[in-house]
A and B are shown apart, each in its own frame.
Chain A
Amino acid sequence: MPASKEEVFKKVQTALIDALGVDEDDVTPEATLVGDLGAESIDFLDIVFRLEKAFNIEIPRAELFPEDILTNPQYVQDGKVTANGLTELKRRMPFADLTKFESNPAVQEFGNLLSVSDMCRYVESKLK
């Protein structure tokens, strides 16, 4: 039986509490991993291990962090993701809400994009 949204959120929340040392109250669906929860790049490796274990899934790095797009001159110009790049990001990351990022698609802002609810949607997509 597939996990309910509530179950997924609880497990994602636990993974983030353990990986980032944050309080349960901080891990709200809207919280962003980098901006609100203080995740650093190395924390993502930790988070991925915890999610893989909690849900018994495999998480290829490129699915959550499409670095290949963000470093590809075809998709990035003057430090900003192009329209083509945004289309590619949406295709690769259907679970992520890119609305905010689209208003200022600077590559350096990308790290601050992922929210807790994005992570939950990603996990749900893997559990289907």
Chain B
Amino acid sequence: MHWYWFDRFTEFESGRAATAIKNVSLAEDHLHDYFPGYPVMPNSLILEGMAQVAGTLVGEVNEFEERVVLAKVSNVRFHALAQPGDTLTYKATIDSLGPDGAFIVGTSHLGDQLQAECEFCLAFLDDRNETRELFKPDDFLRMLRVFRLFEVGRNADGSPLRIPERLLRAEHASNSQAVMDRAVNRDDKF
């Protein structure tokens, strides 16, 4: 199961703000669980999508070297329900960034209408006792590509966002391994 709660970035300015869209579809099972016969996108999952946008924005500042987790959500307000066929536009803006984490202002819009607003505290995990990565770097890069981060991402000076070397190396190693595995598999069969 994939836990992706937005579909793609539409704007991304490193260290400042990110905008992403989430298309709400009747085919999504969770729409049917709240009110039978009246499908709506659960607000909790809208919040999760906004947090994912915020987390990617904050993680990118240090080329995804820090382990970023959602620590706290506050002052959440929902103004409207999102229904099948709607496109939600999530925006995350970095309000403060410090050595321990970041404070983010998040919004969700339905067209011009403000659908939800909130504040996020994202924390950098302390690595004194734990150095495990939250994601495998090759999987993580695949996810960022799916989000089209490097298609729309820009640095503060307007130049295109570059894929961090560490992630590219991991992807290359993973691809090479996959080729090797296929070759071994093929040899076994003959």
A-to-B contact residues, CB < 8 Å: 18-19, 21, 42-43, 45-46, 48-50, 52-53, 61
Contact in complex: A49, B96 (CB < 8 Å): yes
Given contacts A18-B74, A18-B75, A21-B74, contact A45 B100 (CB under 8 A): yes
Contact in complex: A46, B100 (CB < 8 Å): no
Please report whether the interface of chain B is mostly helix, strand, loop or mixed according to DSSP.
Answer: strand
Please report whether the interface of chain A is mostly helix, strand, loop or mixed according to DSSP.
Answer: helix
Interface residues on B, range: 10 to 19
Q: Is B146's CB within 8 Å of the partner chain A?
A: no
Which residue of B72, B95, B96, B103 contacts A43 across the interface (Cβ within 8 Å)? B72
Residues of A within 8 A of B123 (CB): 42, 45
CB distance from B188 to the nearest CB of A (A): 51
Contact in complex: A46, B95 (CB < 8 Å): no
Residues of A within 8 A of B40 (CB): none
Given contacts A42-B72, A42-B123, A45-B72, contact A61 B99 (CB under 8 A): yes
Which residue of A46, A52, A53, A61 contacts B72 across the interface (Cβ within 8 Å)? A46
Contact in complex: B96, A46 (CB < 8 Å): no
Residues of B within 8 A of A49 (CB): 95-96, 98, 103, 121
Docked pose: A74 CA to B112 CA in angstroms: 59
Residues of B within 8 A of A18 (CB): 74-75
